[in-house]
């Protein structure tokens, strides 16, 4: 089995000057494609179960799916809870075999966010797994706006919570369909100088590819969460298949047609972020 913790893939990324893709999953078809893409690129991958995924499939089932897929490849695979909002949700993920918990207290006052994230981090560390926290709310396209991350607050948050990775708000936005969400690189640099923890960009689909690569290779950003970009590829492939073959009704046969387009898209994302240490 190649199942590992988030810390085990992000610490080498920080030292080696590259980033790891946090692939937001919705079901078996996409998570299988992501793992195969990572295997072909000989790169680590983070399988992420976000709120919409968990609303469709229970965490205990997702944990088994992630762990099964990790057994099929030779590259490191992280089973990651994305945007866990409660301690109970994090406990269920831990009991379900996840190797990383992301607790999102970014909407809460700083001290409350620190206290609650520190509690989850301690719980994770006692169990031998990792914890990601978020400081500075990352907004949503057509939804609540981002609040931004204050470098001093980031330094305090990182120190007081002992998280293994820290998500920051630096111009990134969830659910952007176009790559027009350029990030504030000066702010990223300042946060990086005040902290030693790997940084995480949520809403990575909206970040221009050139900027993703530059930050992956030349900053403390070690993880980009990619969801919308891949869902669009999946949706397009599914739509084309149904349109071109209107008499098909077997969903297994229909869903098979999404595999290659999603795998190729995932490979391209990984290739943009990953730089082997020997390179």
Q: Assess if residue 158 is contained within a domain.
A: yes
What's the structural domain count of the chain? 1
Higher pLDDT, 200 or 178: 200
Kindly report which listed range (131-140, 150-159, 173-182, 244-253) carries the lowest average pLDDT score: 173-182
pLDDT, tens digit, for every residue of 9-26?
Answer: 999 999 999 999 999 999
Q: State mean pLDDT over 170-184.
A: 75
- Tell me the CATH number at 213: 3.20.20.70
User: What confidence score (pLDDT) does residue 236 get?
Assistant: 92
Given this model, what pLDDT does residue 276 score?
65
The residue-averaged pLDDT of 213-240 equals 94
Distance CA 37, CA 149 (A): 33
pLDDT attached to residue 279: 43
95 domain-assigned: yes
Q: Give domain status of residue 166, yes or no.
A: yes
Mean pLDDT for the stretch of residues 159-187: 86
User: How many residues are listed for the chain in this entry?
Assistant: 279
Q: Which pLDDT score, from 0 to 100, does residue 254 have?
A: 87
CB atoms within 10 A of CB 219: 19
pLDDT for position 233: 93
pLDDT at 211 over 60: yes
pLDDT exceeds cutoff 60 at 189 = yes
Say which of 82, 104, 150, 164 is annotated catalytic.
82
Does some domain include residue 88?
Answer: yes
Residues of the domain holding 220: 3-273
If one compares 279 and 29, the residue with the highest pLDDT of the two is 29
Q: What is the pTM of this model?
A: 0.94
Active site residue 82: yes
Q: Across residues 140-154, what is the average pLDDT?
A: 82
* 239 within a domain of the structure (yes/no): yes
Tell me, yes or no, whether 278 lies in a domain. Answer: no
pLDDT of residue 95 exceeding 90, the answer is yes
> Tens digit of pLDDT for each residue in 74-90?
999 999 999 999 999 99
pLDDT band at 137 (very low <50, low <70, confident <90, very high): confident
279 within a domain of the structure (yes/no): no
In the structure, what pLDDT confidence band is assigned to residue 277 with cuts at 50, 70 and 90? low
Banded pLDDT at 275 (limits 50, 70, 90): confident
The 10 Å Cβ neighbour count of residue 32 is 18
The total of other beta-carbon atoms located within 10 Å of residue 178's CB is 11
């Amino acid at each position: 089995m190649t199942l590992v913790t988030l810390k085990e893939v992000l610490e080498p990324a920080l030292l080696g000057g590259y980033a790891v893709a946090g692939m937001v999953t919705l079901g078996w078809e996409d998570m299988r494609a992501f793992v195969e893409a990572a295997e072909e690129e000989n790169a680590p991958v983070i399988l992420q179960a976000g709120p919409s995924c968990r609303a469709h499939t229970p965490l205990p089932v997702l944990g088994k799916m992630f762990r099964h897929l990790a057994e099929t490849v030779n590259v490191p695979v992280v089973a990651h809870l994305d945007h866990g909002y409660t301690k109970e949700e994090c406990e269920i993920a831990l009991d379900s075999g996840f190797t990383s918990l992301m607790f999102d207290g970014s909407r809460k006052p700083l001290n409350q966010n620190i206290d609650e994230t520190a509690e989850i981090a301690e719980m994770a560390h006692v169990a031998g797994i990792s914890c990601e926290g978020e400081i500075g709310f990352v907004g949503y396209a057509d939804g609540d706006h981002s609040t931004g991350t204050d470098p001093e607050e980031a330094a305090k948050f990182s120190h007081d919570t002992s998280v293994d990775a820290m998500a920051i708000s630096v111009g990134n936005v969830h659910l952007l369909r176009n790559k027009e969400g350029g990030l504030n690189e000066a702010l990223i640099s300042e946060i990086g100088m005040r902290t030693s923890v790997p940084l995480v960009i949520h809403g990575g689909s909206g970040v221009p590819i050139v900027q993703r690569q530059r930050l992956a290779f030349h900053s403390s950003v070690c993880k980009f969460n990619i969801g919308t970009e891949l869902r669009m590829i999946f949706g397009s492939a599914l739509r084309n298949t149904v349109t071109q073959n209107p008499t098909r009704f077997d969903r297994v046969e229909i869903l098979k047609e999404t595999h290659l387009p999603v795998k190729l898209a995932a490979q391209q994302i990984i290739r943009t972020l990953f730089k082997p240490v020997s390179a």
